[in-house]
Amino acid sequence: MGKKKHSDGKTVRVHDRDFRLYISEQKIRKSISSMAEAIEQAYGELNPILLPVLNGSFIFAADLVRELSMNFELAFIKAQSYDAFHSTGDISERIGLELDIRGRHVLLIEDIIDTGNTMAWMLKKLAEKQPASLDIATLLFKPEAYLHDFPIRFVGMEIPDAFVVGYGLDYDGHGRNLKAIYQVC
């Protein structure tokens, strides 16, 4: 069972749940454009390593890097801590980093940060590899759910602690292909 639009165009059915339009495609694009400008100002000529966290950030990361005119390298990592609607609390690395980041400026790219547990785990692992700097860019941030104090340098939008799907975010493996972001009804 996949994505199915309802007759009003403002709600979709993903897997077995209904979601309503929350953030439009236009608002997402505007946020990404602003983030790209801020990232270019921050990194200028530093040739950073951009490190999207799979699976969720792949759409956001693709759109973000197309907005950048600076030089950068791109690599991917994958960690998982979610099962359907809830964080399991157990974080596992699925794809490790093969690129040497010692002495390099690294920007982690995430689709959403809620509790921050996965990102805290990644920051610890990556800091052991001694990068020159280690920053985070996230499209969505849930400050109400956040349990850590590490800084998130680039935030596209802050949202309340509600479950969202679309634009790379999934519900039990479904809904990543939605062009906008939808919130569970």
Q: Which residues are catalytic?
A: 114
Q: What 3-state class would DSSP assign to 84?
A: coil
Helix (H) or strand (E) holding 134: strand 133-141
Which stretches within the chain are classed as H helix?
25-43, 58-67, 117-127
- 163 near 155, Cβ under 8 Å? no
Cα-flanking dihedrals φ and ψ of residue 103, to 5°? Answer: 75, 5
Query: How, if at all, do strands 105-113 and 49-54 pair?
Result: parallel
Tokens of 152: 């998130």
What's CA 116's distance to the chain center, in Å? Answer: 12
Residue that is written with structure tokens 């920007």 in the block = 107
Q: What 3-state class would DSSP assign to 51?
A: strand
Tokens of 25: 């495609």
Q: Please state, as a whole number, how many other Cβ atoms lie within 10 Å of the Cβ of residue 4.
A: 11
